[in-house]
Amino acid sequence: MKDKNFPEPGKKFKNVLSGIIDSKNEIAPFFSSENAVVFNNDCLEILDRMPENSINMIFADPPYMLSNNGFTCRNGRMAKVNKGKWDESKGFEEDIKFHDAWITACRRVLKPEGTIWISGTYHSIYQCGYILQKNNFHILNDITWFKPNASSNLSCRFFTASHETVIWARKDKKAKHTFNYEKMKNGKFPEDKIKKENTQMRSVWSIPAPKNSGKEFGKHPTQKPLDLLLRIITASTNEGDIILDPFNGGGTTGAASLTAGNRFYVGTEIDIEYCGLTKNRLLKLKKETSPIT
C-alpha cells in the first residue's frame, strides 16, 4: 500500500481496501489500524471503489431527515431538533432517491449470504424497508429497540416516542446467513429487562440509550448504545468477518466490532468532527484488544 503508516491487515481486509487506497486516485483513510479503518468521505464514493461480494455484514443508521427547525426534549430540556445539513429533508422523492442510492451501493459490496441492519424511526424506516424490497433483499426480522430511558414528549399531543425499528435483511434469499442462535438464547444481557435467561431471543429489545461513559470523546446526536451494536454483531457475524457502517457517526459500530473481538471494520463519515471522535474511541479500545492478522 502507498500509505507507509497503514499497518498490514488481514488478507481479505486488505483486498477490500486495495481499490480505495491503492488506486490512481488514492483516498487516504482518516484513521487506520490493523483491523479498523475510517474514511472522511461520502459513503457512495468509498462503496464504489470496494470489490463486489466482499462485506459480511452492514449496519446503517442513515439520516432520519428530522432537522426542520422544530423542538424536542433532551435531558429534560427543550432543544432544537436540527442536527446538521446532512439531516435535512429535500422532499419525499429526493429522500427516496438518497436511500435507494446508498442501499443499492451496499447491496453490490455485500456477500450473497451477507446481511444488512438498518435503524430508524417512522420518519425514515418505512422508506428504507421499501427500498430493501425493491432491491430484492429478503427481510429476516424487524427489531423493536425499546428505550426505557427515552426523552419525554413536550407537546403532550401524541404518544411518547420510546423505540426505534431495526430491519434485518439478507442479500440473497437462497443463501445461508449467519445467525448465532445459541449466543442469543443463552448469552448474558443484563441491560435488557425483557430478555429471560436461557430462552429464545425475541424481536423486542430493551436497551437504554447511550450512557455518558460512551460519550467521553464527544457526542453524536443520533449515537447508538454500544450494547445494541454488540448484540447485532454477536448475532450476525463470526470471527474474521468484515463489518461496514456507511454512516459511521460517533463510531459505535467500530467500537462494538473491536469489543466483540477478531472482526474487521470499515466506516465512512462525511463530518470530520465525528471522524475524530471515532478515532479517539477506537484508539482507546485498540489498547484493550488484540487485532487479528
Q: What is the CATH number assigned to the segment(s) 11-223+237-248+255-270+278-286?
A: 3.40.50.150
Distance, in Å, from the CA atom of 254 to the CA atom of 285, rounded to the nearest integer, reads 10
**According to the model, what pLDDT value does residue 6 have?**
44
**CA-to-CA separations, 113 to 196, 265, 268, 284, in angstroms, rounded:** 29, 18, 23, 32
- Consecutive 10-residue averages of pLDDT for the chain (293 residues): 48 90 84 96 96 97 72 53 65 94 98 97 94 98 95 83 96 97 97 96 95 64 91 98 97 96 96 95 82 48
Q: Where are the domains of the chain?
A: 11-223+237-248+255-270+278-286
Give the residue from 130, 230, 243 showing the smallest Cα distance to 184: 230
Q: Is 220 exposed, middle or buried (0-12, 13-18, 19+ CB in 10 A)?
A: buried
CA distance 116 to 110: 8
Residue 90 pLDDT:
83
Cβ atoms of residues 178 and 232 within 8 Å: no
Give me the DSSP letters along 47-60: HHHSPTT-EEEEEE
